[in-house]
Amino acid sequence: MVLAKRIIPCLDVKEGRVVKGVQFVDLKDAGDPVELAAFYNKEGADELVFLDITASFEKRETMLEVARRTAKEVFIPFTVGGGISTIEQIRNILNAGADKISLNTPAVENPSLVKEGARIFGSQCIVVAIDARWNEQLEDWEVYTHGGRQATGLSVLDWAARVEELGAGEILLTSMDADGGQAGYDIPLTRAVCERVSIPVIASGGAGKMEDFARVLIEGRADAALAASVFHYRHFSIREVKEYLHAQGVEVRL
């Protein structure tokens, strides 16, 4: 059975509002997260990802509230990420109604969190987000943490294999080189990771045209494609992307 490829809007949330920038700067307000989530639910999104980009301790309650409100409005799976670093925080987010949580920096700093999270809540709830950038010296992609600010020296491919071993159910792979540029996903990166692991990979960073979705799902072998700006600013709709993909022979849920 061929699994349908998924189209996933990403909502970056700052202090309870959705924002969008280019490579994490020049943030503009793009609306209320729950209203946008409900809109994308109607539009035919397969899933949603919320990333809390100001995930300091005092903002945590805001995100729980967003999760609670979203769970009442939306009937597709949604993931919450950003600043989740303990089992208790994972439990709280899942109890608020999220289907999955996403770990990035805390997974690198404390890999046992991935293992414990998968053991307690099941692999299907644990997504590991990997921010990747090409490193000329290493001739390899390198893992970045702290919102893309800190190089780790870790190989992306080795880290992807490691998180699969630890029990992650999915990888959310963002190309920092492509992010926000709308010039297309990073196909070589995505394909290399997809060939290295057997868990699903969500490609992120660089969607600008409908063709970009087809390329990353076909050539890049991604299981899902995530995008933000092109959907928030209505360059085209999720339905249009899916109809385009269907016409290209890509299995999608119409």
Active-site positions read: 12, 131
Token pair of 25, please?
Answer: 């700067």
Judge contact between 98 and 66, C-beta under 8 A: no
* Beta-ladder partners of 215: none
49 conformational bin, left if phi > 0, alpha if psi -120 to 50, beta if neither? beta
Report the alpha-carbon distance of residue 45 to residue 106 in Å, rounded: 28
Collapse the DSSP code of 207 into the 3-class scheme (helix H, G, I; strand E, B; otherwise coil) and give the result: coil
Residue 9 and residue 204 in contact, taking contact as beta carbons nearer than 8 Å = no
Strand partners, 140: 135
Q: Please state whether beta strands 48-52 and 140-145 pair in parallel, antiparallel, or not at all (unpaired).
A: unpaired
Q: Residues 2, 250: contact at Cβ < 8 Å?
A: no
HSE-CB of 162 using CA atoms within 13 angstroms: 16
For residue 39, which phi and psi values (nearest 5 degrees)? -60, -45
Q: Which residues contact 39 (CB under 8 A, 6 or more apart)?
A: none
Would you give the DSSP letter of residue 82? S
Residue 20 Cα distances to 118, 122, 194, angstroms: 31, 31, 27
